Structure 1
Amino acid sequence: MGLLDAFLGNASANDANEIQLELSQLLSPGEQVRSAYSVIRDLMVFTNKRLILVDKQGVTGKKREYLTIPYRSIERFSMETTGHFDLEAELKIWVRGQAAPISKTFRDDKSIYDVYRALSEFAV
C-alpha cells in the first residue's frame, strides 16, 4: 500500500532507521531522523535539528535536491483539507526570508494530518 500511496500523491510514513542510513552523509554528528514521509517520489524528513526536503528529479530519481530548513526559520504553517469537490489537501510552510510559502499537495486528509502533527511537534 505504501508504494501505491506514493504514486497517488498520498504521504506515507517511512522507516526512520532506513532514512537515517540513506542520509548518513548529510546528517551532522548526533543528528537523528525522527520521522519521514514520502510524497510521490519526494521526502519530508524531520530530524532532531531540522526539516530536510528531498526533491528527487529526473526519470530515475538519482538526481536529488536537498533543502534544509532549520526549525527556527519556520515562521508559520497551514493546511487545507479536502472537500467534496476539491480532492487535494495542501500544506504550506512559510520560511523566514522567503515571500512565498513552500507548498506540498496531498491526495488525502489522513496523511496531511500526520505531517502537520510532525511540524507541530518540531517547529513550535
Structure 2
Amino acid sequence: MGLFNATETNSETVARDYAPVLIEGERVLIAFKTMRDLVFLTNYRLCTVNVQGLTGRKVEIESIPYRSITRWAIERAGTFDMDADLTVWVAGSDEPLEVKVAASANIVGVQQVLARAILGGGR
C-alpha cells in the first residue's frame, strides 16, 4: 500500500474531523494529507484514510496499533529530492506501508513519534 505526495496538515483539524474514531485521551500528534487521502499518527496508533469513488463517500480508515509495527524507516529528502519517505512494516502484512511526503515535511518528527510509541518513553 502506498500514499504519495503527502504534505503535512494541521493535526488539530484532523483531530476534529476524525473525533468519532478517536478514543478518550487519544491525541493526533502529526498528520499528512494528499488531495483526498490522509495518514495520521496518534499517541496510540497510525491511521490511514483512503477516500474512494468519485463522490468520496466511501472511506476506509485503517488503524495500525503501534504494537503491530515491527520496524520502520525514514529517508530524508536530499538536495534535489522532491519528497521524503516513511516505510512501515506491519506484523502479518507482506507489503510495507509506504508514505511519500513533501521534502519540507517533518519526517524526523514522524520518526520521533514512532520511536516514543514503540520503544517507550511516554505517550
Instruction: State if a TM-score over 0.5 links the two structures.
Output: yes
Structure 1 residue 47, shift from structure 2 partner: 2.4
CA contact (8 A) 1:82 1:89 kept: yes
Structure 2 stretches lacking a partner, 5+ long: none
Structure 1 stretches lacking a partner, 5+ long: 1-7
**TM-score, scaled to structure 1:** 0.73
User: Residues 101 and 59 of structure 1: is their aligned pair in 2 closer, same or farther, counting only changes over 3 Å?
Assistant: same
**TM-score, scaled to structure 2:** 0.74
Question: How large is the Cα RMSD of the aligned pairs?
Answer: 2.5
Higher helix share: 1
How many residues are treated as equivalent by the alignment?
115
The corresponding residue for 1:67 is: 62
SS at match of 1:25: helix
Q: 1:11 aligns with which of 7, 15, 22?
A: 7
Structure 1 residue 35, shift from structure 2 partner: 1.5
Distance of 2:6 and 2:20 partners within structure 1? 27
Structure 1 residues 36-115: aligned runs within 5 Å? 36-40=30-34, 41-84=36-79, 86-108=81-103, 110-115=105-110
Distance of 1:31 and 1:64 partners within structure 2? 24
Percent sequence identity over aligned pairs? 31
